[in-house]
């Protein structure tokens, strides 16, 4: 199984990046990443976003650039398209890529799913199982829950993954989850502090985690295409919603 993404040294060149995934019995692990060609030159101008008076306001509201919430967001959306969207070009065009992500966020509505189950950033402690069960009951499929740590080294909920079929039309059970896990308990908190999201943290069973209060304000969105090296029948999408943010962004988020 390969997890295919795209990246580039600037905003015009995109190269495919493959995550090599190893399966040993019931254990699955992402071993590393490698690039392969050819490098494809892509036009980073977001015509579908800039020319549509319907899409742009939705992106500003539900898929904003957190580094500069008051900005137009065009450069950020170009980055999202080049890094993630171009991999799914055979399935979703530029406009459909963004519309699909926005529609899924509203359709799945993880904020309401968690709130209905009584899971909120109110200082209480929740088990990892209760969070996963709440999401599965609300949407019908098992999520992957990823955690990070805040600046005080406290564990907290970071991202929630769900999977879609290869046409990005229907939710499915995930064929494979990214590497990483959370501890057995998650602690909610009203403190707005989090560490850099790229810092993965393997947690001991007794560690507790919090839910950032920003979960009540917005969930950032990502739509990632995962391609199988064996058959296109195994291709699928990760739909990712972010719950906590890098502490470097918090001053910019205070007015959201």
Kindly tell me if the per-residue pLDDT of 58 is higher than 90: no
Kindly tell me if the per-residue pLDDT of 194 is higher than 70: no
Kindly tell me if the per-residue pLDDT of 228 is higher than 50: yes
Quickly state the pLDDT bin for 48 (edges 50, 70, 90). Answer: low
Kindly tell me if the per-residue pLDDT of 198 is higher than 50: no
Residue pair 85/102 in contact by the 8 Å Cβ criterion? no
Domain ranges of the chain: 45-253
Average pLDDT over residues 202-226: 54
Kindly tell me if the per-residue pLDDT of 167 is higher than 80: yes
User: Most confidently modeled of 116-120, 199-203, 208-212, 223-227?
Assistant: 116-120
Kindly tell me if the per-residue pLDDT of 137 is higher than 90: yes
> 238 or 26: which carries more pLDDT confidence?
238
What DSSP line would sit under 126-168, residue for residue? EEHHHHHHHHHHHHSS--EEEEEE-TTS-EEEEEEEEEE-TTS
Label the pairing between strands 236-242 and 155-164.
antiparallel
Look at the block and give the residue holding tokens 């959306």. 77
pLDDT, residue 116, reads: 92
Quickly state the pLDDT bin for 150 (edges 50, 70, 90). Answer: low
CATH of domain 45-253: 3.90.730.10
The per-residue pLDDT for range 65-103, each reduced to its tens digit, is 666 656 667 788 888 888 888 888 888 888 888 889 888
Q: Name which of 85, 116, 89 is nearest 102 in CA terms.
A: 85
pLDDT, residue 142, reads: 93
Residue pair 56/74 in contact by the 8 Å Cβ criterion? no
- The CA distance from 81 to 84, in Å, is 5
Query: Number of H helices and number of E strands within the chain?
Result: 7, 11
Write the secondary structure of 15-78 as one string of H (helix), E (strand) and C (coil): EEEEEEEEEECCEEEEEEEEEEEEEEECCCCCHHHHCCCCHHHHHHHHCCCCCCCCCCCHHHHH
Average pLDDT over residues 21-25: 43
């Amino acid at each position: 199984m390969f997890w295919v993404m795209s990246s580039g040294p600037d905003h015009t060149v995109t190269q495919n990046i493959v995550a090599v995934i190893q399966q040993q019995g019931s254990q699955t692990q992402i071993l590393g990443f490698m690039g392969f060609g050819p490098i494809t030159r892509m036009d980073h101008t977001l015509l579908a976003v800039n020319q549509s008076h319907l899409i742009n306001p939705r992106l500003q509201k539900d898929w904003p650039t957190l580094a500069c919430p008051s900005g137009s967001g065009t450069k950020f959306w170009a980055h999202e398209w080049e890094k993630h969207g171009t991999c799914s070009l055979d399935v979703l065009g530029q406009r459909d890529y963004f519309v699909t992500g926005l529609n899924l966020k509203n359709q799945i509505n993880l904020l309401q799913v968690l709130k209905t189950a009584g899971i909120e950033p109110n200082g209480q402690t929740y088990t990892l199982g209760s969070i996963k069960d709440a999401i599965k009951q609300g949407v019908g499929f098992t999520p992957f829950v990823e955690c990070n740590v805040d600046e005080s080294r406290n564990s907290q909920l970071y991202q929630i993954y769900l999977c879609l079929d290869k046409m990005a039309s229907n939710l499915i059970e995930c064929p494979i989850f990214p590497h990483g896990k959370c501890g057995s308990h998650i602690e909610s908190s009203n403190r707005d502090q989090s560490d850099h999201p790229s810092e993965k943290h393997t947690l001991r069973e007794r560690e507790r985690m919090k839910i950032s209060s920003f979960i009540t304000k917005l969930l950032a969105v990502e739509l990632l295409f995962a391609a199988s090296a064996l058959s296109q029948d195994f291709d699928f999408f990760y739909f990712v919603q972010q719950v906590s943010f890098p502490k470097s962004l918090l001053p910019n988020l205070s007015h959201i």
